[in-house]
Amino acid sequence: MLRKLIITFLSGCLFVVMAAALLFWMQNEVLKQSLQLEAEQVLNVPAGSTPNGLLLQLEEQGALRGALWLRLSWRLQGHVQPLHAGEYQLEPGMNVAQLLNKWSTGDVVQHRVTLVEGWNFNQVRAALAQQDVLQHTLGEVSDSELMRQLGQADVHPEGQFFPDTYNFVRGQSDLDILRQANQRLQKVLAEEWAQRADDLPYSNPYEALIMASIIEKETGVAHERDEIAGVFMRRLAIGMLLQTDPTVIYGMGERYTGKITRADLRRPTAYNTYVISGLPPTPIAMVGREAIYAALHPKPGKSLYFVARGDGSHVFSNSLAEHNKAVREYQLKRRADYRSSPAPKPTQ
């Protein structure tokens, strides 16, 4: 009887060992197999997905075999959470083990959208609307409602987003990008405000942001930013109108078609700094860190005027007489290649 029990026990152990060996062999075989793909393919994984359905889907497509064994292998590896949502890049020659590793690490395809210094908020919304992979939630949502959703009710959206390149994956929303850009702007502004120069005419960081947006629109020449900031600081200090064209253009809105007339300069708007004193009520564009830094570290000097040379740079003058002379030289006798902003960089 004892001998029979021993034989039964040993037989059972042998069966378990053989079954384990078979399982190990099958796992290795199905994991080593290459995906049967003729070209690169993007596999979209919705939120909450598990490998079960995806493996069966790939097996039905003929991309792999042994979906049952692969599901078992996935469970034996201790994976119990749903997969990271997003898109997974599948390539010819990739084996199944590499696919499962992508799933376990959440190695999803990254998309990018770039928000550019100097853009206004309408341009930001338009850029996000063109991103097909983003989940579009804003639609007809008003600017004020959008800011409320970002937790900033009663805050004007202009200038509240930091220009940069933002990565995202399929399934993220346009509001997610704006939330990242808004948080980044608040962080950068706070960092720069904490290191500001003394004796600035701003009551709070928001006023510095307004000034930074004007500087951003006035020049793209890096070494001029602090000098332009200095001009505007001195004008504010003596109660002189800022008289900066970008604010006029912003106040014109859709009426602006590429040219400012004398009537436009005289027409009152909340942003026309040829009419209103001090700063406009809000920023007029998105600003980079450099423009914020310039607004908070204006260059000392005596200049009160500047005029565009036509190559993107400016001539600075201390007196009205000097300024009028520069205007006659650089604007009233404009060359055919005159530019008020920097020339575009040549393509490679």
All residues at 6 or more sequence positions from 331 whose CB lies less than 8 Å from its CB, including other chains: 307, 308, 310
Residue 168 forms beta bridges with which residues? 111
Cα–Cα dist 13/37, whole Å:
41
| pLDDT score at 80 | 59
CA 198 and chain centroid, separation:
32
For the 32-109 domain, the top CATH level (class) is alpha beta
Instruction: Indicate the pTM of the whole model.
Output: 0.79
| pLDDT score at 330 | 81
Burial class (CB in 10 A: 0-12, 13-18, 19+), 15: exposed
Residue type, 21: A
* Helix/strand/coil percentages in the chain, nearest 5: 45, 10, 45
Residue extents of the structural domains in the chain: 32-109, 111-189, 197-330
Encoded tokens for 255: 């009426």
Q: What is the pLDDT along the chain (348 residues), one digit of tens a residue?
A: 655 555 555 555 444 444 444 444 445 556 767 677 778 888 888 877 777 778 888 888 877 677 777 777 777 766 656 778 888 888 888 888 888 888 888 888 899 999 999 999 999 999 999 999 999 999 889 999 999 999 999 999 999 999 999 999 988 999 999 999 999 999 999 999 999 999 999 999 999 999 999 999 998 888 999 999 999 999 999 999 999 999 999 999 999 988 889 999 999 999 999 999 999 999 999 999 999 999 999 999 999 999 888 777 898 999 898 888 888 888 766 544 433 443 334 333
